[in-house]
Amino acid sequence: MKPSTIPSHKSGGRKQDSGLILLKMGGSVITFKEQPLSPNFECINDLSRIIASVDKPLIVVHGGGSFGHYWSVKYGMHTKPARYDLKGVSVVHESMIALNELLVKRLIESGAKPYSVMPSVFTQGLEPITERIEELESIAVGGVVPVTFGDIVHVAEQNYSILSGDALMTILAEVLLPPKVIFLVNVDGLYSDVGTKNIIQEINYETYKSATFSKTTSDVTGGMYRKIEEGLKIASLGIDVVLVNGLKPERVLNAINGDDFEGTLIRHEDRRG
């Protein structure tokens, strides 16, 4: 596949550009999604080494994969606020903390400086707490990498909701307007045709409706379709979003460090008027 180029631009109305990168590690990258509670240590090690080598402010969000999704499915929990089984609330949350701890340990062993942040620290229900999110950026600028994750959160009056890592990416991007947003997925990008595995190199709001997406049934937060929806929301802020295969370390490194990457670019909408 020919590498695409991430065009350089500034979002409209941005304050100072810290060069922040928002990186989502999909659950299907850092875990084996079909096998309950099984981390993909090889991939976690590769990604940890890459993050340790990056000399840019970075905020990492990770998904649930065979941890959070496994229990969410078992307890019938979704992204709609409701009075879910309270044991399910505890179990889903615990599984995400376990996955986060495991990831953070590997990051430290690799020489990175991660710092775990539960999403409830910077969200109130499903809404952002702006000051807390801005604080995450200053932490990142100082060389520490905030690592947060999709989770089950209390919305109001004993109603809980799954808050996906993809939705967290939008929440963070809306406040911080980073110049680069990367989603690591377990495929080479968005397929125009799942059969032939043709990758769409670039997509925008107009072209996305004609594309077909692979949907997975075991995923309570909507799989690739949801990712593109979140990606388009972020692109509408004037930010380029890239989908890159997280199981191919050199592609991840290129997407973080350089302008060339292999994957799908969700092109930003021009907000400069």
Range in contact with ligand IPE (rule: CB under 6 A) among 4-12, 23-31, 127-135, 258-266: 23-31
Sheet-wide strand order for 202-203: 114-116, 145-149, 58-62, 21-25, 180-185, 240-245, 263-266, 202-203
**Assigned token pair, 9:** 């631009």
Out of 6, 22, 26, 100, name the contact with ligand IPE by CB under 6 A: 26
Q: Which of residues 217-256 bind ligand IPE (CB under 6 A)?
A: 219-221
DSSP string covering 193-204, please?
ETTTTEEESEE-
Out of 164, 245, 254, 264, name the contact with ligand IPE by CB under 6 A: 164
Range in contact with ligand IPE (rule: CB under 6 A) among 42-50, 126-134, 164-172, 246-254: 164-172
150 binds ligand IPE (CB under 6 A): yes
* Dist CA 208 CA 217 (whole Å): 21
Residue 149 or residue 261: which is nearer to ligand IPE going by CB? 149
**Assigned token pair, 44:** 């976690």
Instruction: Judge contact between 8 and 259, C-beta under 8 A.
Output: yes
CA distances from 27 to 99, 148, 167, 173, 174 (A): 10, 13, 14, 20, 22
Q: Residues in contact with ligand IPE, total (CB under 6 A)? A: 21
* Dist CA 27 CA 93 (whole Å): 15
81 binds ligand IPE (CB under 6 A): no
Helix axes 65-74, 86-109, angle to 10 degrees: 180
C-alpha 227: how far from chain center: 9
Residue 64 or residue 146: which is nearer to ligand IPE going by CB? 64
Q: Which of residues 37-56 bind ligand IPE (CB under 6 A)?
A: none
57 binds ligand IPE (CB under 6 A): no
Rounded to the nearest whole angstrom, what is the least distance from the CB of residue 220 to ligand IPE in the complex? 6
CA atoms within 13 A on the CB side of 52: 16
Q: Which of residues 190-219 bind ligand IPE (CB under 6 A)?
A: 219
**Assigned token pair, 80:** 């709609």
Residue 96 or residue 133: which is nearer to ligand IPE going by CB? 96
User: Which of 151, 123, 156, 127 minimizes the C-alpha distance to 220?
Assistant: 151
Range in contact with ligand IPE (rule: CB under 6 A) among 49-57, 63-71, 126-134, 170-178: 63-71
69 binds ligand IPE (CB under 6 A): yes
Rounded to the nearest whole angstrom, what is the least distance from the CB of residue 222 to ligand IPE in the complex? 8
Kindly list the residues in this chain that would bind ligand IPE in the complex (CB under 6 A).
26-28, 63-65, 68-69, 72, 92, 96, 150-152, 162, 164-166, 219-221
